[in-house]
Structure 1
């Protein structure tokens, strides 16, 4: 089931987009993507706090009460199970000129089914020619200006990989096109620091905050490509797919260390919010696991 909420109302069919809409014309906006299970958006407040902070930095009006009401409306009576909830906020209609002040922002919410079979699935990467710029606002905020990521993803696909490894302008590891990257070294979790041209993902933050409880020490620092080769395991984190072990980079196999404790910890944290292990599939009117559930 697909649902759409736009500027105050649930709607169907095409959207009435203003011809001067900045999100469409200039990518002048922000977005957040959340996994919902049983009509509960996981780590919702972390996502919306990040959205509000970014909107404030860019000078885009943000109304948390309106957004909370919109989320409640689009999730109400939605089917049980896994869905992707995307929140898109743009500057809306303004006068011409890049520096024009914004008027009434546009707010778009979409809800679409999500296949939990995509979670925790191994992935291969290829190194992109695109470089992340640590000084760029687009590198650290979740903006609509995603063309570098789009190009890198298409580049990876052309090389037979599912995603791209993005380095920064100094040649250090940054991220993939849609996920943060971690290295496992003994009981140490290592991930590129905030000043490395990364978007600080919500699942990245959840894992860092959970590290001590799970028996690990988290370290944020510059990461080299040699560090990846010398790690016990390399994996990606993402709010929809949780964590995915990287099996190879540029067709060079990587060690596959034990990640079960980390994945179990993330699933336990999600279960506290939605009442179910996010890896299970169910179809039941009362939102209970059915006999057809699949553990992954």
Structure 2
């Protein structure tokens, strides 16, 4: 039996805790954070909590003084221990507003759920078999104040993920409303062309990924600056190499998008330099 944390209290996984009037349920009024734990140590805690707190401020939550990154981290560690997920685990924190209609929220204090799942030991290792991706164009992401947040209205990614599953892709590439590259359903996208590494700028509507930020910082230290820019579908298909980054898998190379086949020698060198010894 596994457990979850709801507003600081622990419940068995099948316990019903939400009201039908929850704004999180009715409107997707909230956001979430996905973290990784290795041997009981949360990875990139400062960066994850900074992004979560920034998102709550953007969504105009009233954050009480007792609700702090330190208190939330303690609750996460306690839940990991209770669930026996001390080796390697994925943690999801879902924050949402309480009860009320569209114009009459009862209050703006964050409610939250913490969940944990075990991860296989090879999670984050270099993928010897490259990923197969496709481009999903039916639903496009807007570029606005919400675009960089992992908010709970995640329908573009949900639709793209279902399409990827139907097409037997490992992941799908989402486009923004201008038809340019945004991100994938679970990761940020980087391309290598000649000696240049590029990734969509945050203004292009992609999630402000923690591992994206770390990759940019690490490559800068290696005198390999990343160009944050606009990338078209043609840019993606003309690239020599493509790789994805996120907090769970760290970095994975892409073998194919449609009929385009990519190499991975430079991506593997980047992985070995950034992740093989740092994580």
The secondary structure found in structure 2 opposite 1:143 is coil
The secondary structure found in structure 1 opposite 2:153 is coil
The secondary structure found in structure 2 opposite 1:18 is coil
The secondary structure found in structure 2 opposite 1:243 is strand
Q: Which residue of 1 aligns with 2:9?
A: 9
Does 2:144 match 1:135?
A: yes
The secondary structure found in structure 2 opposite 1:156 is helix
Q: Which residue of 1 aligns with 2:40?
A: 39
Q: Which residue of 2 aligns with 1:84?
A: 90
For residues 160-211 of structure 1, what are the alpha-carbon distances to aligned partners after superposition, in whole Å with 9 as ceiling and x for unaligned? 2121111111121111111100012344321000110111100000000111
- Corresponding residue pairs, total: 269
Contact 1:184 1:257 in 2 (8 A): no
TM-score, with length taken from structure 2: 0.88
Contact 1:232 1:257 in 2 (8 A): no
Contact 2:85 2:118 in 1 (8 A): no
Q: Which residue of 1 aligns with 2:172?
A: 164
Q: Which residue of 2 aligns with 1:249?
A: 257
Runs of 5+ in structure 1 lacking a partner? Answer: 272-296
For residues 205-264 of structure 1, what are the alpha-carbon distances to aligned partners after superposition, in whole Å with 9 as ceiling and x for unaligned? 000011122341211000122222332210111110111111111243223342223212
CA distance in 1: counterparts of 2:95 and 2:45, whole angstroms: 16
Which residues in structure 2 correspond to 1:158-237 (within 5 Å)? 158-237=166-245
Query: Bigger CA drift: 43-52 or 11-20?
Result: 11-20
Q: 1:261 to 1:96 in 2, by over 3 A?
A: same
Contact 1:132 1:168 in 2 (8 A): yes
Runs of 4+ in structure 1 over 6 Å off? none
TM-score, with length taken from structure 1: 0.84
Q: 1:85 to 1:270 in 2, by over 3 A?
A: farther
The secondary structure found in structure 2 opposite 1:212 is helix
Does 2:30 match 1:19?
A: no
Contact 2:95 2:110 in 1 (8 A): yes
Q: Which of 84, 99, 115 in structure 1 is aligned with 2:120?
A: 115
Tell me how large the CA RMSD over aligned residues is: 2.1
The secondary structure found in structure 2 opposite 1:83 is strand
For residues 107-140 of structure 1, what are the alpha-carbon distances to aligned partners after superposition, in whole Å with 9 as ceiling and x for unaligned? 1111110124353332111111221111362x22
Q: Which residue of 2 aligns with 1:53?
A: 54
